[in-house]
Structure 1
Amino acid sequence: MTDHPERPAPAQPESPRPPSPQSAEPEQPVPGQPVVVSAAEVAGVFRTEHGRAVAVLARVFGDLDIAEDSVQEAFAKALEKWPADGLPPSPAGWIITTARNRAIDRLRRESSREDKHAQAALLHAQDEPAEEGIVRDDRLRLIFTCCHPALALNVRVALTLRLLGGLTTTEIAHAFLVPESTMAQRIVRAKAKIRTAGIPYRVPYEADLPERVRGVLAVVYLIFNEGYAASSGDELIRTELCQEAVRLGRLLVELMPDEPEAVGLLALMLLQESRRPARVDATGAMVLLTDQDRDLWDRALIAEGQDLVRRCLRRGRPGPYQLQAAMNAVHSDAASAADTDWGQIVQLYDHLLTFEPTPIVELNRAVAVGEVDGPAAALALVDDLDLGGYYLFHAIRAELLKRLDRRDEAASAYRAALELTVNTAERDFLQRSLDAL
């Protein structure tokens, strides 16, 4: 939402997983024999179908651990069979059926040893078919379970990435820069809480749906934000998190096509993601929005994002994500920073404040006001805000003071910003700006 610097508004043993797509070369088909399937292709199916399969199995057995473990085993079996036998007509159906059969076999063995949990899961499965026909509702149920408000926000993020995204505990821990053991404990505890607290595996009742949808969207956008402007570490951008959030955003639009804020969130992420190639230079140094080479922006993502914004406008049911997407559409319309319609962006911030009257929105609005009415007008707005613990507050003040040629005050503001950020790329940018004074 601001360009000073640019940032939008966080163990159990692993089962066998398909190798990364780079780990195997595609093999050439042999006439008269089944088409050979590479490990990379199996990995592609894993990434796209993991969430679908876990959702179905969670409904069938009423247990997230059983669902996830059986799906992992099914994909391990696919790695053995598909390269020789070829891809089945319905890879998702094959995975779901195989996972269900393996789970039932395992539960039968355990129930014979008087395992009450296994017996309960088997009873649950007797009346629950594993067909794909209602998978849309299954995935919605899983999303709302992962993002239940009874769970801490960082746990919701971890569960969403694990169960819907298929990321390993190691990958999630690396993305959020926490020890793997810490992330594993979060996931284990979250599943235990879902089971012991009786958190329902269902789409919320209609009266609760708007608030719960906002929570789901917030989790996906938090994943995107951490990828777009990492809160810590050496790199500004974590590409894999941005891409995973966009994929989850597409899933939400598929599952909730009549929810305009889901469409708005996807548009917002696509328009912000379109600028990724220009946000750092060849050395990895951060580049402000106003200084970016717009020829590097991804025009396909911009076109898709703008089309989604137009869809939102036609619906006439605005919300925070739609308004932020519209602001980014204005930026993407401008051939250069000087051509940006900042007046329209200020108006959009005014509208956004009716939904989110927060100091952060006020701060970002002040940046736009500075482009319309000058740095003095913007600084007056910024100095009225109580955001002394937020590094961007000081970074924006520093930029405005620099434009007003108040260099000593600007230097103090840059130093205050440096005290409050730990991301190496952002610290380097602030230090360069301070040195330039």
Structure 2
Amino acid sequence: MSSYLVESPESLFDQLLDELIIEILTRIPSKSVCRIKSVSKRFNSIISHPRFLPFYVSRVSLPVSWVILDRIPQRAPESTHPTQFQLVDRPKISTSARNPIKLVPDPVTASTRYVYPAEILQSSNGLILFTLLNKRDLFKDDPENREDPEDPEDPDSASGIIEEEVLYVVNPISNEWVGIPEPSRFIYDRRNVGFTARVDPETGLVGRFMVVEYRPSIGPSLGIFLCFRSDTGKWVEKRADFVMGMRIWRAEGAFEFEGKLFWVDLSMGLITWDAEGNNYFQEVENRKKAVCRLIPVPEGRDMPYYSPGLEDERFVGVGGGFIQFMEVFKEDDCVLKVWRLNNCEVGGEWSLMYNVLRKNVERILTSGGMRYPCFVHPFEADIVYYFVTGDCIISFNLRTQKVENDDVFASHPFVLPFVLPKWPSPIPKRLCV
């Protein structure tokens, strides 16, 4: 490696020492590297050099770690920071807390009549997207036009009081947060909101991110992608060049894979925005229509959209470098099947990878069974996580058909694997609060 990180070398010995220091730093966790900056001016100069970060990210030899994060943030005391994260090592569950008083100017409802008041939706390259259900009074500045509430005991029944989704992007390492401006049309369904953050290869930091809600239409009309870009600070709408026909879309979440966004309907399949590789962000500006397509569920697994309990039996997501489809069977000889998606670029073809028989997992079934599929291990494609009776999440090795870990305790199955970044990338400065 050359001594390009030394701005004014005085001798060959000084250059050698800097190279040794840099080599040592690549073997230290990023959190420790950040603390080392304050040790001396020399360390600060080396670490602050614009070329150090991309070199560190490319050479760091430490294994990438991850945590299990509770999707449902708790309400923090009013005196605390707007957002807080407690990231702990597995098998414990990492948690987050949000202070709605500091996040939004209007009072926040604690109602859970329709959806959770706050929920972590997605993560991408060390950043997290979460939503808060906010109650807003449309007639706050014009009380004369307000009608009397239909129910005297429920003032929210008055016309003009609405509940709307407010989106935030958070860095759980640095505790930075940014609020996403409201779109011209409110977020219709949080389960249809996708999130992707792009790393600048020259700096090793997140350069921009995008939030996209997919809005399907029934009949001959095209669906809509409602897109927000951090580098422009604007929402734009794109027509999706895919017609659903008379099939009703059953929103079950979204995820990112290889720079593309996927929206999930467990009864029918995946809608993917074909972003043409690295031109994802350029497509938003330059194309009149978004190139998207449908990837059906594995052959024979198509179900009516109104089929009950699919979210308890099926999971589609990313794990171990693959898009995987899992399904639990309650009564058949086969208790679990796992498919992997091949040829995603061409059109998508599912391959059945595992067919777990009931007799081979009798111990799991007698202790309560695989109640809900949660996720696939981020790096091990053959390890899956399930929520079982007793408020416990188990990790199951499909290859050996044995339980790897059965002491992950959670009160519900709504958890998210969060991969810790090699370097705590800040939120893009354009929108950072």
Greater helix content: 1
TM-score by length of 2: 0.21
